[in-house]
Amino acid sequence: MAEESPDEVGRRTYHLEDITVTARGVPAPASLTPGGIGVVKEDDLREQGGSSVVESLARIPGVSRSNDSPWSADVIIRGMTRDSVVVLVDGMRVNMTTDINGRFGLVPAQQIERIEVLKGPISALYGSGSVGGVVNIITKGGSFTDTPQWRGGAGISGTSNPAGGSLSVSLGYSTPSSWVRGSVTSRDHDDYLDGDGDRVENSQYADISGSLAGALKWSDEHQTALSFSATQARDVGIPGTGTAPLPVGAYVTLTRNDSKRMEVRHSFTPSGSLLLESSLRFGYQFIERKPRIDHFPSGPVTRIEPWADHETVSADWRNRFGLGDHLLTVGLEAWNWHMTSGREKKLKNGSFLKDKPTPTTTQHSLGAYMEDDWSFAPKWVLNVGGRVDQVSIDNDETATVQSGSRDDVSWAGHLGLTHAIFESWSLTGLVASSYRTPNILELFKNINLGGGVTEIGNADLEPERSIFLETGAHYAGRTLGADFSLYANFVDDLIVSAPVSPTLCQMDNVSSAEIYGAEAAAQWEFMAGWELFGNAAYARGRDVGAGEPLRFIPPFNALAGLRQTLENGFWWSGETVMVAGQHETPEDVEHSNFHALFNARCGFGFEASGFKHDLGLTINNLLDRQYASYLATSRGVDLMEPGISVVGSWNVSF
């Protein structure tokens, strides 16, 4: 091969390894972090042009998309989803118990700086629900600058499928001792079309989001940051999906899905001390959800309007110490989640019925945690973590549920080992255990499923408990990065709906689950400006109690692509996404077929008149393939995914 010229060498971008904070509470490179992680950056979200952030998350091997709606699909991490995956926004837990999820619609992509994913219970920092993993959405903020500066930007995008677009504006000001930043984003999209050109009814959405954040540096050692954000979503369609057993043909629409989030964080970074940093965070979050269920094909009911308000107050005190060969993180976390709900039914005779299928409930959690990175020998690092939580739940009496309370004391822990065998090679291993406390619905619901069948909660449920194993090999070179991992997750006391009689089902700890898998990813800049990238993931899971495969195990999937970046700021990429058929399914779930998608992207970045411009064009599902995702949460229908979609964007910043 001919030797590269100095210009070609200068054009090399070099492989930059992902650095995460979520996994250990301190910045750490991926190759030296026991357990699987993934990162989605701001550029990734913009270039991939998806209608939700979950589409970008699904490019991480081991992370899949479960289609509730284009506005807010959910994630499946190595076969675990919903309440088995903790979702954070800037480190604050999103508490919301509902069969139709909405966590990933609360923050638009335009306001996100990066997303960090933990694949499995690889960290003891996060308590209940981390048996499947953690997703931390980190929003854009500001920074202190040596001189006063104004910074801002605007972005506009248009999408052909679903037809619609978005508009975002941001403005910030910074000094050596302070900064402030505000932003507004609006999105509006119609129903999407599938690969045959047929409209997928009730898949529209519209929302508007705003944020305001700032920070003050009191001294070299003390600084305080404040933030406020709000989202209002209206008429969000759920196209034929939802885990609630409703009649085929009934529409589910989020007529209102609003959220407000406030946070105050103070950090203390002394010099010349064993204490490297101490931070104290207070947070408040309020989520208001009002679904509407209508278009019933038969029966006396014409419309059902449930509602729920979720209020969470939280605090976290985290401290980092440098103790020779030890980097120690210890802290306390507390949160209080209060949920009120109700339901109204409109009958064909014009009358209304009101009830409370779920009682007003308050959940308290108090936890103490610890993480220690110990460099006990050259090229060897031992990571040990542990957490103990007390979780108490109190509920009010309703017509169908007695008042009561319960207390659980649970623990999580892990032991990880990293060996840097060569300059760029490392081996990792991890043993971990985590738990999931039963949610409010599982404990206290009393819901009429139709057909004379009622499903009730169980106040005596035990927390689910997992044992997790993972080993990996990692290479982090200048132009090549590669990762390979094997994992197993064993979950006991799995909570499922168990039949008690022909007319009654009750939640119970009657099962256990076993999930196994392997993942690989690589990124290689084989010559200046040219990059090959790809990944693959395989998983198998079984419900041991039922003696059948688990429902949300993704089929084998792989991604492969090529990207070129030119000297003039122009870049292009092409890729294929392949998903095998899933034939290991529960008895009442249909098999799925193989499908392959092709996506193409290009962009151009340049500066003019003191502004930086980024133009982008994305074509997803280039061949307009008709396909259905096995992981869609459908109600007895095959929910078709979007056909060809063209996204154009223009972003300006200064």
Spatial contact of 124 and 433, defined as CB atoms under 8 Å apart: no
Radius of gyration of the chain (CA): 25
Cis peptide before 176 (omega within 30 of 0): no
Q: What is the pLDDT of residue 26?
A: 65
Residue 451 has pLDDT above 90, yes or no: no
Q: Are strands 557-565 and 570-579 parallel, antiparallel or unpaired?
A: antiparallel
Q: What is the pLDDT of residue 24?
A: 65
Amino acid at 7: D
Report in angstroms the alpha-carbon separations of 419 from 132, 371, 380: 25, 18, 5
Which range is least confidently modeled, 82-86, 143-147, 591-595? 82-86
- Which residues, 6+ apart, have CB-to-CB distance to 82 below 8 Å? 74, 101
Q: What is the pLDDT of residue 16?
A: 56
Between residues 19 and 425, which one has the greater pLDDT?
A: 425
Which range is least confidently modeled, 162-171, 400-409, 561-570, 639-648? 400-409
* Cα separation, 634 vs 199, whole angstroms: 17
Q: What is the pLDDT of residue 159?
A: 94
Proportion of the chain above pLDDT 90, given as a percent: 55
Handedness of CA 4, 7, 8, 13 (dihedral sign): positive
Of 162, 129, 126, nearest in space to 52 by CA: 162
Residue 465 has pLDDT above 60, yes or no: yes
Homologous superfamily of 6-653: TonB-dependent receptor, beta-barrel domain (2.40.170.20)
- pLDDT band, very low/low/confident/very high, at 446 (cuts 50, 70, 90): confident
Q: What is the pLDDT of residue 3?
A: 46
Residue 244 has pLDDT above 60, yes or no: no
* Cα separation, 434 vs 388, whole angstroms: 10
* Cα separation, 67 vs 76, whole angstroms: 10
Q: What is the pLDDT of residue 223?
A: 96
What does the DSSP 8-state code read for residue 193? B
Residue 540 has pLDDT above 80, yes or no: yes
* Cα separation, 477 vs 483, whole angstroms: 12
Q: What is the pLDDT of residue 12?
A: 43
Domain ranges of the chain: 6-653
What pTM was computed for the model? 0.90
- pLDDT band, very low/low/confident/very high, at 517 (cuts 50, 70, 90): very high
Which range is least confidently modeled, 350-354, 371-375, 464-468? 350-354
Q: What is the pLDDT of residue 83?
A: 82
User: Would you give the distance in Å from CA 122 to the centre of its chain?
Assistant: 16
* Cα separation, 552 vs 539, whole angstroms: 10
CA angle 458, 459, 465 (to 5 degrees): 85
Residue 5 has pLDDT above 60, yes or no: no
End-to-end C-alpha distance for the chain, whole angstroms? 41
Residue 634 has pLDDT above 70, yes or no: no
- Which residues, 6+ apart, have CB-to-CB distance to 621 below 8 Å? 195, 597, 598, 599, 641, 642, 643, 644, 645
Residues comprising the chain, all counted: 654
* Cα separation, 24 vs 275, whole angstroms: 17
* 285-324 tens-digit pLDDT: 999 999 888 887 777 888 888 899 999 999 999 999 999 9
- pLDDT band, very low/low/confident/very high, at 98 (cuts 50, 70, 90): low
Spatial contact of 485 and 472, defined as CB atoms under 8 Å apart: yes
* Cα separation, 282 vs 228, whole angstroms: 12
Q: What is the pLDDT of residue 461?
A: 86
Q: What is the mean pLDDT of residues 272-277?
A: 92
Spatial contact of 211 and 227, defined as CB atoms under 8 Å apart: yes
Residue 544 has pLDDT above 90, yes or no: no
Average pLDDT, the chain: 87
3-state secondary structure of 10: helix
Q: What is the pLDDT of residue 25?
A: 66
Q: What are phi and psi of 53, to 5 degrees?
A: -65, -25
Q: What is the pLDDT of residue 242?
A: 43
Q: What is the mean pLDDT of residues 378-398?
A: 89
3-state SS, one letter per residue, for 18-67: CEECCCCCCCEEHHHCCCEEEEEEHHHHHHHCCCCHHHHHCCCCCEEEEC
* 486-498 tens-digit pLDDT: 999 999 988 877 7
What does the DSSP 8-state code read for residue 201? T
Q: What is the pLDDT of residue 13?
A: 47
- Token pair, residue 105, equals 């619609």
* Cα separation, 393 vs 147, whole angstroms: 51
